[in-house]
Amino acid sequence: MRKYYLPIAVLMIAVMLGSAGCGPSELKPCTVELGYVSNEWQGSETIIANVFLTVKNPNSVPVMLESVSYTLNGANNFLGTKTLTPSFIIPANGSANLSNDTIIDYAGTIVTPLVLNKALDSGTAAVMALVPWKQLGGKTPPLWATAVGTALAKAPPADNITAALTNGDSANIAAAINTFAAIKGGFDKTAGAVGATWAKAVDSPCVYNVKGTATISYGTLSKTSAFDLKYERK
């Protein structure tokens, strides 16, 4: 969800002065400030984080805010990328506010990068992801689904077990029992690791980093400035 805030007295026609030759020969770069990063929703599987930015125009003429692009990181994890194209006017020596939401998914945003980049199995990655997830404000995720999926992947095919029972194949029956015993042990171990990890993980403070660029224009002039901002939510 995008929200843009501007002074009500701003007139769109003001920016046209630039093309008429009335204005500066060069633009000063705008500055961007990070007001806050707050959670609009904190669930067990998703978080909606709101980023509030203020763009300031140091020029003596009104400028068009063409675009704002940034990456959002939090709790030492990449959370998303945004490109906003508000295309509205910031008054001379004035400012405008931008508010935008980023959806953070426990499995897709936090767990999957651990599996792909760290070569971890899904169970281990899910437990490790609990630390940043709690710091970001999430609630305890339904990890039973991950544990069940991992267990079923290791289980022998049902047809093999049925055939072993039908034929009285004691060797295969014993193997099946041992396999399911191992699965049960692994499930209990995962559940224990989840509880212990979640209990030790801290939920604050959480440090966010918003890094990107903002582009303004006036007539034929254009200026892009970079920003690298931090916010600590306690």
Domain boundaries, the chain: 2-106+204-233, 111-200
Is the distance from CB of 207 to CB of 75 less than 8 angstroms? Answer: yes
pLDDT attached to residue 13: 44
Q: How confident is the model at residue 174 (pLDDT cuts 50, 70, 90)?
A: low
With a cut of 80, say whether residue 80 has pLDDT above it.
yes
Q: How confident is the model at residue 162 (pLDDT cuts 50, 70, 90)?
A: low
Q: How confident is the model at residue 14 (pLDDT cuts 50, 70, 90)?
A: very low
Q: How confident is the model at residue 161 (pLDDT cuts 50, 70, 90)?
A: low
Give 86-134 pLDDT, tens digit per residue: 989 999 999 999 999 999 999 999 999 999 998 888 878 888 999 999 9
pLDDT attached to residue 165: 57
pLDDT attached to residue 181: 59
Residue bearing the bigger pLDDT, 151 or 201:
201
Residue bearing the bigger pLDDT, 103 or 143:
103
pLDDT attached to residue 29: 97
Question: Of the candidates 7, 5, 3, 2, which has an alpha carbon nearest to the alpha carbon of residue 62?
Answer: 7
Q: Which residue has the tokens 């633009």?
A: 27
Question: Of the candidates 29, 73, 37, which has an alpha carbon nearest to the alpha carbon of residue 55?
Answer: 29
Radius of gyration of the chain from Cα atoms? Answer: 27
Give 206-215 pLDDT, tens digit per residue: 999 999 999 9
Q: How confident is the model at residue 7 (pLDDT cuts 50, 70, 90)?
A: very low
Q: How confident is the model at residue 10 (pLDDT cuts 50, 70, 90)?
A: very low
Q: Record the tokens describing residue 179, joined without a space.
A: 């396999």
Q: Record the tokens describing residue 194, joined without a space.
A: 């989840």
pLDDT attached to residue 100: 96
Please compute the mean of the pLDDT values over residues 21-36 and round it to a whole number. 89
pLDDT attached to residue 74: 97
Q: Record the tokens describing residue 176, joined without a space.
A: 């099946």
CATH 2.30.40.10 fits 2-106+204-233, yes or no: no
With a cut of 70, say whether residue 28 has pLDDT above it.
yes
